[in-house]
Chains A and B, each alone.
Chain A
Amino acid sequence: KAGVTQTPRYLIKTRGQQVTLSCSPISGHRSVSWYQQTPGQGLQFLFEYFSETQRNKGNFPGRFSGRQFSNSRSEMNVSTLELGDSALYLCASSLASTNEQFFGPGTRLTVL
């Protein structure tokens, strides 16, 4: 069974731009969660989607948004990028939101 895939793997943007990251969950998984990983703050929860609905949200500004499609694929968008948004963005999928989460390899975003 294929694992969680994330595209693109690497991305370089400049301040003020916006970016969209994509996540394809493991086949059959309906829950997708997003996390931001930085050396200073560690792994922080952004939001979770289940059956196209946002179920949980972390403490990030409104510049961070996401959505989930009917095939469970998910995207996250960051608008008006700031230098501090440079991070590894990880997506995780699970069968349902109470089950084990499996992570993708992440998208490394660099904001210049």
Chain B
Amino acid sequence: GENVEQHPSTLSVQEGDSAVIKCTYSDSASNYFPWYKQELGKGPQLIIDIRSNVGEKKDQRIAVTLNKTAKHFSLHITETQPEDSAVYFCAASREGQGGKLIFGQGTELSVKP
């Protein structure tokens, strides 16, 4: 069935370093890949997304890359700040089922000042 694997489960970096979180999906029909940030006591917040017709997308310090052949996509955060500390989730959905997101297990990112 549909599955999204996310690694690592925890990531600790020093302020100013870069952080990379990787996800692999199983459903080759997946065409939409969002990333969410979830802070304690809050719902997931959409931070960036990419569609299957694009290989890379950037928004200030955040970028996402997609390799359709390998069914692999990654989140890159540069110049990390303490306020980036949160749990990050990747997700995927397939054509015609955009309302159904399959989530990875989450990565707890800790940015140490």
Report which A residues bind B (CB closer than 8 A). Answer: 4, 31, 33, 35, 42-45, 48, 50, 55-56, 58, 90, 92, 94, 96-106
Query: Is B44 interfacial (CB-CB < 8 Å)?
Result: yes
- Cβ of B25 within 8 Å of any chain A Cβ, yes or no, is no
Within 8 A of A (CB), among B29-85: 32, 34, 36, 41-46, 49
Known contacts A42-B106, A43-B89, A90-B44; A101/B101 CB under 8 A: yes
Asked if A98 meets B46 with Cβ closer than 8 Å, knowing A43-B103, A103-B36, the reply is: no
Decide: B101 and A103 in contact? CB cutoff 8 A.
no
In contact, B32 and A98 (Cβ under 8 angstroms): yes
Interface of B is mostly: loop
Q: Is the CB of B46 within 8 A of A48?
A: no
B98's partner among A99, A103, A104, A106 (CB-CB below 8 A) is A99
Interface residues of B (CB under 8 A from A): 32, 34, 36, 41-46, 49, 89, 91, 97-106
Assess the A97–B97 pair: CB atoms within 8 A.
Answer: yes
Contacts of B34 in A (CB 8 A): 100-101
Q: Are B98 and A97 in contact (CB under 8 A)?
A: yes
- A-B residue pairs in contact (CB < 8 Å), sample of 6: A43-B89, A44-B103, A90-B43, A101-B34, A103-B43, A105-B41
Task: Flag if B105 contacts A42 (CB, 8 Å).
Answer: yes
Given contacts A101-B34, A104-B43, contact A42 B99 (CB under 8 A): no
